[in-house]
Structure 1
């Protein structure tokens, strides 16, 4: 297809960043083993007052690997991890890899419908979940091929006396404490580790062919697809990240992990980065501005990967100036566009650098990034990472577009996925030869910096989470009072974008926004629930009856412009 391409972005690279990298061809989990062997007493993670060394995490991962082996897990089986950021999520991730399993990262926010789809599609054999999520898992288990459920509690890895106090806090916050029936094929995570040996399991892994991860994403159809990422894909992208941060104090950084590990972005630039770089990760189970500010000050955080909504939340916290944030040196922003005013305000607060990048699950995920210590054009997603080729494909000619011309971003590189799990047709549609079609529209300037101007897909990015309109629409159509529904993204000062639903009711039917909101919350994760509803008698359509989604988007833009003028 495309043989030779220009790479003007390479001229932007400082001398410290190589144009090409020699990547190690070893399984991802070997980085934990090597660090634990050479520096066993070095701290790997901090979690709510508890610290664990590389040696301790490695021992836990080996014990978990042997526990899985005893449960019948063999190389190539899928093991689902449905946990927030905790020590258990790190131990389970690497432990599953040590037994040769393929990790299936599962969002703890999933409702039963979403969880069932992912378990059925991946054919996961085992799932690890929090006790709070246990009822949800058991409600779908019999509809899947899940054989074993492993349950853990947040208190399992809390220091004394927090581990004793936590059950009371849990009951206060949630109104109940889940009682888990540990028998048969429901197992206690702590008991499994206690009864398992910390022994290595002999494996033969082809790092370029064998999968380490199935990372689920949505598509334009709203159907969640399993992105197949090999050990090599993940090793490459983490290595690229480390090489890009050439000024950091490798091995001595403190990385704030507030981004969820079940999201490929948090997994790569948080967890895998920390292990490979042998730096300390400060783990937070959820983003809370007070907890983040306290963690930065107390733990002297130096690297903070996040999403724009996180930085927005921090700079607007009324108490932000009470905290010392000057330890922060590098902030890696992704998942959504970063407003320039947010970048400037956050850099003033910390004295560090906040730069925006770009990626997608299908690329492990990072493909572009702005220079941390160099030219950073306003609104740009930066330049491609080493060994990453990018072309703007002209819609008119099907050939590479010249600088300044808008087209579809297509990518080629060693971090690009193997394909979609059990979906050969979708895989074929996603590629043109060895080039991944991103569906994102943008352009490259004369200096090799890239800009995203629109999305070919209708995906909405709200606070770093992807919302696929059709998935929400399908849920709305399940309501007996709804005749037609369409969902679009509208601007939101905090989340960047949020979902708005336009509804046409069936004749004679009545429905309030509150009733509709309650209905959606039963069938969708909270972040996918529309934040605004508008009831109409009809929707704008083409001559053939297709809803003009773009017309609704344009209407909302005009409304916003009028509101700004009037204010």
Structure 2
């Protein structure tokens, strides 16, 4: 069943059921589908010359809102592709990306319109005010155009190694297939209340939203991440599933501990997370806040979707691993000559699944570097143990070459996070005349904690080969983050270049 068709079915079968809590507003499935039809007809009114053999893009530059979800799903109804632009990008990046892909239509929040002074002449613009409630009283006709499971419906953006946004495409089939596998893995059903408090431009949040609506659940949408509001929502609405990244959980934990009242969150069954690996300290804190919740850490990539998952049992048994292959996924760890590595050896991780992306927008050459026949890889390096658990050694693009030796910063970061006073750490290679790249650790301490350089150096010398030990330690008050809540290595490297 196609994405918008599932919403239509729920609107018919359970019209009064709440589909979305949009901050203080409740939106039923009937109201949601009415809004989708309204958005679809608004799009079609500007697209009289739409050709079925094109890939017409609908650009969305909007705040988190039910209106954004309606326009996103409306585009999927008749074979258009929603390109989701990030309001946090610089004005220069926004202008560059929009002019590069030239969307047939740009749906833009009124507050962002002034940021794009030069819109392609071929792009038609719809300005909306997502902060204003809309009247849905008049009946909307059912749009006649339709899409298929093979229709490309979503273009997200990944920063890649350069920091420049790069569009990647997905078919409806890739998400519909993944919904079934995710439902099986995370134990989702139509009675669930799901909260993903990140931005809808982040694929984890958007995916959680669309998957919840597809199966007929209730999604809790926040205008932005506010730890205190998230705690209140969790307690008030009996939320069952929470999607978040480690940095969000740390903020949530601080708010939980600072609260004057006793907060009980027994309804939360599943914490679903991706991005950076959780530290042992953060995992310990989970049990303090969510007494009944299991932690599901999945590893994946924009291009690959789900690859592996470390479920609650795996978190107790093999906490350092990235788990076992996700449902529907096959993995292969290979040498440079494409032969399988032996057990415990490091190799490049290849993935085969029905959830792999359809390619990068406008770049067959870059797509061919990822997709190799039925298999795909983003260059990550991994090992597998005798029980089938996988371990991520490092990301090829993050590798440091110092004195001619390959160093994976993730190994050093994982070690440093075992020091209780360290909240976050990133290890990068800083250009150096002698070493080529100098191993440099940037460290953010927990509030009120002290960790000396001697402690850090001593730990590294005990546990690591000498050439892997950081040659410089820099303390920071804060890190730059990506939209998905991960520390941005690209921005850090740029800042370090300026410093040196």
Instruction: Report the TM-score when normalising by structure 1.
Output: 0.70
Q: Match for residue 224 of structure 2?
A: 286
Match among 414, 436, 448 for residue 548 of structure 1: 436
What SS class does the counterpart of residue 355 from structure 1 fall into? strand
Answer yes or no: is the 8 Å Cα contact 2:39–2:74 preserved in 1: yes
Query: How far, CA to CA, are the matches of 2:369 and 2:57 in structure 1?
Result: 25
Answer yes or no: is the 8 Å Cα contact 2:427–2:440 preserved in 1: no
Alignment of 1:5-404 (within 5 A): 26-72=1-47, 74=50, 76-137=55-116, 139-142=117-120, 145-154=122-131, 156-157=132-133, 190=134, 198-208=140-150, 210-246=151-187, 248=188, 250-268=189-207, 270-317=208-255, 318-320=257-259, 322-351=262-291, 352-363=293-304, 365-372=305-312, 376-395=317-336, 397-404=337-344
Match among 406, 409, 416 for residue 349 of structure 2: 409
Name whichever of 328-337 and 345-354 sits farther off: 345-354
Query: How far, CA to CA, are the matches of 1:48 and 1:92 in structure 2?
Result: 19
Query: How far, CA to CA, are the matches of 1:102 and 1:306 in structure 2?
Result: 26
Uncovered stretches (5+) of structure 1, i.e. residues with no partner: 1-25, 158-189, 461-487, 503-538
Q: CA deviation at 1:402?
A: 2.1
**What RMSD in Å do the two structures reach over aligned CA positions?**
3.0
Q: Match for residue 483 of structure 2?
A: none
Answer yes or no: is the 8 Å Cα contact 1:82–1:127 preserved in 2: yes
Answer yes or no: is the 8 Å Cα contact 2:79–2:148 preserved in 1: no
Query: How far, CA to CA, are the matches of 1:50 and 1:412 in structure 2?
Result: 41
Query: How far, CA to CA, are the matches of 1:381 and 1:415 in structure 2?
Result: 19
Q: CA deviation at 1:421?
A: 1.2
Q: CA deviation at 1:227?
A: 0.9
Answer yes or no: is the 8 Å Cα contact 2:15–2:30 preserved in 1: yes
Q: Match for residue 506 of structure 1?
A: none
What SS class does the counterpart of residue 378 from structure 1 fall into? coil
Alignment of 1:490-529 (within 5 A): 496=424
Query: How far, CA to CA, are the matches of 2:94 and 2:399 in structure 1?
Result: 20
Q: Cα gap change, 1:51/1:242 in structure 2, threshold over 3 Å: closer, same or farther?
A: same
Q: CA deviation at 1:261?
A: 1.8
Name whichever of 59-68 and 93-102 sits farther off: 93-102
Query: How far, CA to CA, are the matches of 1:306 and 1:30 in structure 2?
Result: 28
Answer yes or no: is the 8 Å Cα contact 1:309–1:495 preserved in 2: no
Query: How far, CA to CA, are the matches of 1:31 and 1:414 in structure 2?
Result: 20
Query: How far, CA to CA, are the matches of 2:156 and 2:287 in structure 1?
Result: 32
Query: How far, CA to CA, are the matches of 1:278 and 1:86 in structure 2?
Result: 19
Q: CA deviation at 1:554?
A: 6.8
Q: Cα gap change, 1:556/1:33 in structure 2, threshold over 3 Å: closer, same or farther?
A: closer
Query: How far, CA to CA, are the matches of 1:265 and 1:562 in structure 2?
Result: 39
Answer yes or no: is the 8 Å Cα contact 2:426–2:443 preserved in 1: no
Query: How far, CA to CA, are the matches of 1:262 and 1:354 in structure 2?
Result: 24
Q: CA deviation at 1:118?
A: 1.9
How many positions carry a matched residue from both structures? 430
Query: How far, CA to CA, are the matches of 1:131 and 1:497 in structure 2?
Result: 38
Query: How far, CA to CA, are the matches of 1:313 and 1:405 in structure 2?
Result: 37
Answer yes or no: is the 8 Å Cα contact 1:340–1:379 preserved in 2: no
Q: Per-residue CA shift, 1:53-107, capped at 9, x if unaligned?
A: 1111011001100001001263531111122321112111111212431000111
Q: Cα gap change, 1:498/1:201 in structure 2, threshold over 3 Å: closer, same or farther?
A: farther
Q: CA deviation at 1:194?
A: 7.5
Q: Cα gap change, 1:394/1:495 in structure 2, threshold over 3 Å: closer, same or farther?
A: farther
Answer yes or no: is the 8 Å Cα contact 1:254–1:300 preserved in 2: yes
Q: Match for residue 436 of structure 1?
A: 376
Query: How far, CA to CA, are the matches of 1:562 and 1:274 in structure 2?
Result: 49
Q: CA deviation at 1:131?
A: 2.7
Relative contact order (C-alpha < 8 Å, sep 6+): which is higher? 1
Answer yes or no: is the 8 Å Cα contact 2:108–2:128 preserved in 1: yes
Q: CA deviation at 1:348?
A: 2.8
Query: How far, CA to CA, are the matches of 2:13 and 2:442 in structure 1?
Result: 61
Q: Match for residue 529 of structure 1?
A: none
